[in-house]
Amino acid sequence: MVKCFVILLSIVLQCYGEKYQVVTRKGLIVGDRHDEYTTFLGIPYAKVNEENPFGATLEYPKFDRPYIANDSSVICPQVYFNDNGTIQCLQLNIYAPNTASRNNLMPILVWFHGGGFAFGSGGEYGGKYLVKKNIIVITVNYRLGAYGFLCLDNPQVPGNQGIKDQIEALRWIRSHIVHFGGDANKVTIAGESYGGGAVDIHLYSKYETLFHKAIVQSGSIYVTEGIFVKPDYHAAIKLVTNLGYDVTTTREALRILAKLNPTDVNAATRNMSMVLTLCAEKQFKGVQNFITENPFALQNSDRIDGMPIMIGYTSQEMLFEFANKPQSFYDNMKDPFTVQIEKTFALSKKELEKISSIVRHFYLGYKDLGPEVELELSNFLSDFSINYGAEWSTNRYVEQGATVFKYLFSYTGASEYMNITDAGASHTEELKYLFDWIWAAPLRNPEQLMMRERMIRMWANFVKYG
């Protein structure tokens, strides 16, 4: 049996075969040793207050026995696709090179998953490729749906709790990552889709400095698909009413919701098509807010000035909405130009008709809706839903003095839409080249493997050097 002991100041690292132990101020954490890296999966960074699972976290207590960190399957309650979430879900996963130590601290990539603030988890994104480039990779769970994004006229649930969970994860990293060989002064936060929007909003945070670089993938706080919404102060009452309860106050509603199975709460959210995302919080005395103003009014030159920020998107973000659909799909479709413009701008009927006609002609010319214009429709929805917001964010960064790196991902080597000529890359396509992503098939083609190598090298170099 291989045995090794390393004592470095306040930390003790012990390696017994394939198990690896780290002594932290919270107690002993046991991970799994691999050939080139070590994983510590499912480490709790905070505790949800079960009396108020929609509000501020509690500090996680010290471990009274070795914590076996080998399970990344815990997920927060999900609005869509999965009913297996649990309230006590605030965990993170660490991938650390075996050469990382207190004498050889390595820069850190912290990943916030996408999923509309309604589904997803950190455990879906394995870091085994990026970690081989001598960076520490950390993926994070945060609360979703009502548990993370109720925004109420109530000091116990002012809003944006899922983003505040991310802040708690960053604070945990600042305090503990040195024990895993990580440099708390070289933290890059990154995310895709709504995870990218979360990174964007963190750039305007008034909280203490918890990161030093940022990567925004296919996201922005300025996207039109509802990442930032007007608070619905009656949302808690609406949820319990949908579940058959008769209440008149938010306090009563929260008391009932706290006792309900999360599956039922999320079912009610789905039933009402309730959109729960970022909001401008109402200010309460003694309550630390995250954001209290419209994103277009946000400014934080002190944080952003000089910060390296990488931002970009795929070449056909919304292709998945139209690719390979039959004519019947288009025959039953409401005019997408009118739908998107109407829900975004306050226009009279006459103005809506005129502007929709102009925009439609810009993208389609005189063509009718049908499979032959799937790329043109994708271009429109991509521009309208994601690209414009990302460009707006880019301009804001430049105005405030950031060092901005821009990318466009268009590689289609492993795309499911390769049958479409000149299709380009759809939403999330880049993720399979960065992570061991559970939603992607293994890459086997030499060209695809070469693309992965290029992607992880570029992302890791940004984390290391900016």
**Quick count: other Cβ atoms within 10 Å of Cβ 208?**
9
Q: Which of 9, 3, 46 is nearest to 24 (CA)?
A: 9
Q: Is 44 strand, coil or helix?
A: strand
CA distance 30 to 21: 4
Give kind and range of the element (H or E) at residue 30.
Answer: strand 27-33
Phi first, then psi: give them for residue 100, nearest 5 degrees. Answer: -75, 135
Outline where DSSP puts E strands in 219-264: none
Q: Is 293 strand, coil or helix?
A: coil
> Which tokens go with 224?
């039109």
Phi first, then psi: give them for residue 324, nearest 5 degrees. Answer: 60, 30
Q: Which residues pair with 314 in a beta bridge?
A: 409
Selecting among 193, 205, 218, 315, the annotated active-site residue is: 193
Phi first, then psi: give them for residue 389, nearest 5 degrees. Answer: -60, -40
Judged on CB neighbours under 10 Å (0-12, 13-18, 19+), 122 is buried
Judged on CB neighbours under 10 Å (0-12, 13-18, 19+), 346 is exposed
Outline where DSSP puts E strands in 80-238: 91-97, 106-112, 125-126, 136-140, 182-192, 213-217
Q: Is 254 strand, coil or helix?
A: helix
348 in catalytic set: no
Task: Say how far residue 321 (Cα) sits from the centre of its chain.
Answer: 21
Residue 366: partners with Cβ closer than 8 Å, 6 or more residues away:
none
Phi first, then psi: give them for residue 271, nearest 5 degrees. Answer: -55, -35
CA distance 376 to 356: 15
> Which tokens go with 142?
């945060």
CA distance 329 to 351: 27
- Asked if 308 and 405 touch (Cβ cutoff 8 Å), the reply is yes
Q: Which of 90, 194, 176 is nearest to 136 (CA)?
A: 176
Residue 151: partners with Cβ closer than 8 Å, 6 or more residues away:
157, 158, 159, 160, 229, 231, 232, 233, 235, 276, 279, 281
Q: Which residues are catalytic?
A: 193
